[in-house]
Chains A and B, each alone.
Chain A
Amino acid sequence: MQKLGEFKLPHFFNYPPYFTLQPVREAREKQVQLWKELILDYCRTQKIFVIGLEEEFPLFSNSVIERTLSHEAREAFLSALVSEGHAEWLDKGHRKCLILWHRIQDWAEIILNFVKDNGFEHSVMTVEEIRSGIESRGTVLGEESDLWFLWRDGTSINCMFPGNQASMEKERKMYLTL
C-alpha cells in the first residue's frame, strides 16, 4: 500500500479517475465524499490546517500514476468541506483554505467538556490560560491547531462561564457561555 510519509493512503489513490472531476452525479458525489474524508484525515494526522490551492500539497498529486488534481477540482473538494463547516476560505479569491479538524460547534463542545472536566464552571479564564495552561497539556487544546489559528487570526473567542449554554456564531466568532 502506498504511503505519504507516515500516512497510509487508500487503494483508490492510484485509481486515475479519482483525480478527474467526474461529470456524472452519482460518481461525483462519491468522489467528493471520498476526497473530503481523505483531506480531513490527512490534515488531522499530519497536523496541517492551512492549504494553499496554488501551492504544492502532497495529497493533490500522485507521482506513481502521474496524476494531479486540477485547480477546479481542488476548489470543488475544499468547497464541499466549507459547506459542511469543516473548512473556511481565508480569502475571497479562494486561494487559501483553513481546514477545521473539528467544526466550530465541535470545538465549543470540546472546550465545554474541558471546562467541566477540570471544574472551571462559574469562573473566568482567559483564552491564553486555556491554550497553555497545565490542564490542557496533552489534550487537543494544548497543541497548535486550527482553533488557535482562528483565534490569532482575529476571531474573538469569548469564554465566560456564568451559565450553562454553549453557542456559536457563524462569523467565525465563538462565544462560550457556561
Chain B
Amino acid sequence: MADFFSKAEVTSSGRPVLLRSEVECHLLSSVDIESEDNHHFYPLKSGLLILTTHRLLWLPSSSSSSTSSAAAIPLHAISHIFSTKKSLKSMFHSPRIRFQVLVSPDGRLFDPASGSGSSSGSGSKSIVLTAVVRGKGDCDGFLGKLWESWRARAWECNETSGSGSGSGSGTGTSTATSGGLYSSDGSVRMVGVAGILRKEQEMWESTDKSLQDAFQDLNALMSKAKEMVMLAEKMRQKLLSGSSSQTSGANDEDMGSKEEMQDWLLSVGIISPVTKESAGALYHQQLSRQLADFVRTPLQRAGGMINLIDAYCLFNRARGTELISPDDMLQACSLWEKFDVPVMLRKFDSGVMVIQNKSHSDEEVFARIKGLVTKPEALRSGISPSDAAITLGIAPAMAKEHLLTAESKGLLCRDISPDGFRFYINLFPEIDPRDVYLVKDYGICNTWIKAVSTSGLK
C-alpha cells in the first residue's frame, strides 16, 4: 500500500532531483493528496506539491521526516483532469484539484518508466486523486499550468529523440560527427576537405540560426533554453574531443582559452531555476535549497570556501535568465541554518561573507598556511595574500581573510613596509626576553636564522 506512488529522488538539501530536461512549473504548499476510496495508499498529508513538465512531485513539508517518502506521479499516468466546479459549497472548502490516474493491474500507480509492458488503458483501471490545497496558493494558476504541462506531453519528446528535440543544431552536429557513410537524410556523403568545409559551414549556419532565433526576444530565449543548454553541451564535447586529438600543434594559449570556454559552457546549466513566479511564497526556501545544491561543485573546486559574491555571480550566470538580487541571495543563504544542508554562510570579522562546507575546518587551512610560510623563501621575505591565494587555490580577498585569522590565532605576524603587506611566521613566542641573543638549537627561530643567513644577510 505504501509504495503506490513511485519514489521521487530528493537531494540532500531537500530539492527534487529532476529528470533530463524536466522543468519546474509551479509550487503549492500544504497540499494533501487523497484518493476517493482510500484503498490504494495512505493519504499524503500537508506537503509541498511541485508541478514539473513531466511529473507531479509531492514532498513532505518538514525536513525531519525521511526524504524517502517523497512521491512522484508521472503526468503520463494522468488520464483526465477535472475542471473545478464553482459552487457555493466550494467557497467554504479548501480548494481541490481532482484528476484521474491510471493504475496498473498490480495495484500500483501506472508507471511508464517501470517498463511493465502494459500500455496505457488496456487491462488497467483508474482512480481519482484529489489534491486538497490547505495553504494559500494560486490554485487556479496551478490547475492551468497542470493542464498546460499535461497537454504539452514533454515526456514523449524526451523518449523519441534521445539527445535532442530535432533542432537544427542537433542534426547538423550529428551529420558532422557521425562519420557514417551516408548522411542522415540518405544523400551521398561528402568527402574530402571540401566536404568537411561544407559540413562545418552547414553546422555554423544552423548554429547561427538557432542563436538568432534565441536572441529575438527574451521569451524566445526562454523557450529555447533547453536547446541552448544542449548546444553548449555539444560544443563542450567537441572541445573535449578536439583537445585530445590535437597533439603537438596546440599551444598553451589555445588550450587555456579552450578550458575557459569549457568552463563557460559548463556553467550554462540550471535548466529549471526557482523563480518567484513558480514558487511564490516558498521562493526563498526553494531558492535556498537549490543554491545549496548548486554551490557544491564550485565549493569543491575552490577548496571548501567561496566568496559570497563569487557564488552570486556563478549562480546568476548559471541561471542565465530569472536573475536573483543580492538580497535574495543573502536571504537564501541565511535560511540554510534552518535546513539540514551541507553548506553554511560564514561572516569574517572584517565583514567579508563566504559560503563554506560545514565540514570545512580552519585547522586544515592553518596547517597549509603554516606549511607555506615555513618554506625558506617565505621565511626570508614573508608571504603576501596573493602568494597564499595561488598556493591555496582561492581568491586573494579570501586568502587575506585566512591570513588575518591565522594572525589572530598567533600563527603569523604582519609586516607593513613600502613593499606592501606581508605575513611572516610568528617568532615572538620563541624569543626569550631574558637572553635575546640565545637561540635554541631547535624550533622555528633557529630555522628562520638559517634561512636568513643563507640569503646573504649577516
Enumerate chain A interface residues (CB-CB to B < 8 A).
Answer: 1-2, 8, 10-12, 14-17, 19-20, 22-24, 26-27, 30-31, 33-34, 37-38, 64-67
- What are 13 A-B contacts defined by CB distance under 8 Å? A10-B436, A14-B452, A14-B457, A15-B448, A17-B424, A20-B415, A22-B428, A23-B407, A24-B407, A26-B410, A30-B428, A33-B433, A64-B457
A11 touches B445 (CB 8 A): yes
Would A20 and B414 be within 8 Å (CB), given that A2-B458, A14-B457 are in contact? yes
Chain B positions 417 through 439: 1 when the CB is less than 8 Å from some CB of chain A, otherwise 0 = 11000101011110101001101
Contact of B436 among A12, A24, A26 (CB under 8 A): A12
Partner of B417, one of A12, A14, A64, A66: A66
B444 smallest CB distance to A (angstroms): 11
Is B449 on the interface with A (CB-CB < 8 A)? Answer: yes
Chain B residues within 8 Å of A, Cβ to Cβ: 382, 407-408, 410, 413-418, 422, 424, 426-429, 431, 433, 436-437, 439, 445, 448-449, 452, 457-458
Are A27 and B410 closer than 8 Å at their CB atoms? yes
Chain A residues contacting B436 (CB-CB under 8 Å) are 10, 12, 34, 37-38
Query: Which residues of the other chain, B, contact A12 by a CB distance below 8 angstroms?
Result: 427, 431, 436, 445
Residue numbers in A under 8 Å from B429 (CB-CB)? 26, 30
Instruction: Determine the chain A residues whose CB is within 8 A of the CB of B416 once the complex forms.
Output: 20
Q: What chain A residues lie within 8 Å of B407 (beta carbons)?
A: 23-24
Main secondary structure of the interface of B (DSSP, over half): mixed
Partner among B417, B433, B445 whose Cβ is within 8 Å of the Cβ of A16: B417
Task: List residues of chain A with CB within 8 A of the CB of B437.
Answer: 1, 8, 10-11
In the bound complex, what is the Cα–Cα distance between A96 and B70 (angstroms)? 78
Of all A-B residue pairs in the complex, the 8 with the closest CB atoms, nearest first, are A17-B413, A10-B436, A16-B415, A30-B428, A17-B415, A20-B416, A27-B428, A20-B415
Q: How far is the CB of A102 from chain B (nearest CB, A)?
A: 19
Q: Which residue of B lies closest to A28 (CB)?
A: B428
A24 to B412, CA, bound (A): 10
Residue of A nearest to B424 (CB): A17
Q: Contact at B457–A16, with CB atoms within 8 Å?
A: no
Whole-angstrom distance between the Cβ of B378 and the nearest chain A Cβ: 12
Does B428 contact A1, Cβ atoms closer than 8 Å? no
Query: How long is the Cα–Cα vector from A93 to B256 in the complex, in angstroms?
Result: 60
> Cβ of B414 and Cβ of A17 under 8 Å apart?
yes
Instruction: Give bound CA distance, A3 to B20, whole Å.
Output: 74
Bound complex: CA of A8 vs CA of B437, how far in Å? Answer: 9
Distance (whole angstroms) from the CB of A115 to the closest CB of chain B? 32
A16-B382 contact given A11-B439, A24-B407, A27-B413, CB 8 Å threshold: yes
Instruction: Identify 20 new A-B residue pairs, CB closer than 8 A, beyond the known A1-B458, A24-B407, A67-B417.
Output: A8-B437, A11-B449, A16-B382, A16-B415, A16-B422, A16-B424, A17-B413, A17-B414, A17-B426, A19-B415, A20-B414, A20-B417, A24-B410, A27-B413, A30-B428, A30-B431, A37-B436, A38-B436, A64-B458, A65-B457
A8 partner residues in chain B, CB cutoff 8 A: 437
